[in-house]
Structure 1
Amino acid sequence: MAGLSQLGISGTLVSRSPRPGVITYADLDDVIMASHTVIVNTTPLGMYPLVDACPDIPYRLVTKNHVCFDLLYNPDVTMFMQRCAEQGATVKNGLEMLLLQAFASWEMWHRSI
């Protein structure tokens, strides 16, 4: 959430389990989904051995206006990404983020030597 906040993007945490300050998948309705057009999956759902699993969000409410990120990068296209893309959303996996983190780490470590 910190990275999104730095870009001026506010967010809402969503989880399968209710807890303070977090809404559940069941709370996601058309108003919430329409007003939150960036969706980031940070769960392991979709990664081996759970390749056919995905968060239990209302995919029917995902539209072409949504951008959906999955922090996973293996497989290339997760079930989450596939279901969002079927609704017209732009999807992206986590490989580029992983590479950018690696490059930034390399720079940090080699600059301080």
Structure 2
Amino acid sequence: MQRQFGIIGHPLGHTLSPLVHNWGFSRFDLDGRYRPWPTLPEELAAFMVRLRQTPIEGLSVTIPHKTAVMGYVDAVTELGQAVGAVNTLYWRDGVLWADNTDVEGFCRPLAVRGIAPKKALVLGAGGAARAAVAGLARRMGVAEVAVTARTLEKAEALAREFGVTAVAWDDRAQWGADFVANATPMGMAGRFEGVSPYPAGALGPRTVVFDLVYNPHETQLVLDAVAAGACLVPGIEMFLYQAVEQFRLWTGLTLPDDELRPLLLEALYGNDSPGETEDDIT
């Protein structure tokens, strides 16, 4: 019988997850199917009953269910509990587990590039920022981690939770970060396109910039970072590696990132797909 996987959230829009995981099933000759299941908040309880009855072997979870779904599983990993949100459900010995692979998605691109921040600043205080702060402070053990947001109270709440520093938005450029992660929607295609969340004058050759926004490929922050000679980590890398970790949890197999990356770039940017540069792979 074909193994069932999928993603829940609302809205799902043009999610790339089915492309990734169905390619993975084909790549390893597995009889599996991954599909989108748009799910409103009021439909979550019924869907979780369906998940157990079908059964659905693996599930990706996106907004607005990353916290609420934790109340419908049997167990949550320590990492999922620490982050306070999950994005992956899987079965082990009849137990339905919830985990967070966003942290791996954030940390893995830094590890493969040998990037070890000493003073890291996270822009934003939402779900992506939580994963970034957890990765930097808990997984990587960065000595100094700070979070900043337009609403200082939100930054302070997140900072208290993880034992890091809160920085006022207007003071973010003066904090002296050697690593800047953009976990805000600023720069994203649409009404925020062309806007950078970080002053260009604060960037330099010794700065590492990880813009989690990957549509468009060249956000204003990315353009500013390139112009300043900063080291750049492309935003698509977080999505890529969180998906690789999901697939591993479900199948025990590792998707080859060197094969998956061109697939994602083509899907996102088509004929304008950027080729790998030295900065992308070092």
TM > 0.5 between the two? yes
Amino acid in the other structure paired with 2:141:
G
> Pairwise mapping of residues 1-113 of structure 1 onto structure 2 (< 5 A)?
1-5=133-137, 6-9=139-142, 10-19=144-153, 20=156, 21=159, 22-30=166-174, 32-33=175-176, 36-49=177-190, 50-55=192-197, 57-111=198-252
Separation in structure 1 between the aligned mates of residue 210 and residue 173 of structure 2, nearest angstrom? 20
Q: What are structure 1's unaligned runs of at least 5 residues?
A: none
Deviation at 1:25, TM superposition (A): 2.4
In structure 2, the residue corresponding to 1:12 is in which secondary structure?
strand
TM-score (norm 1): 0.83
Could you tell me how far apart the structure 2 residues matched to 1:46 and 1:75 are?
8
Larger radius of gyration: 2
Count of equivalent residues: 107
**CA–CA distance in structure 1, aligned partners of residues 188 and 249 of structure 2:** 29
| Seq. identity, % | 28
TM-score (normalizing by structure 2)? 0.36
| Code of the aligned partner of 2:196 | C
- Runs of 4 or more above 3 Å deviation: none
Gaps of 5+ in 2: 1-132, 160-165, 253-282
Counterpart residue type for residue 11 of structure 1 = V
CA contact (8 A) 2:152 2:169 kept: no
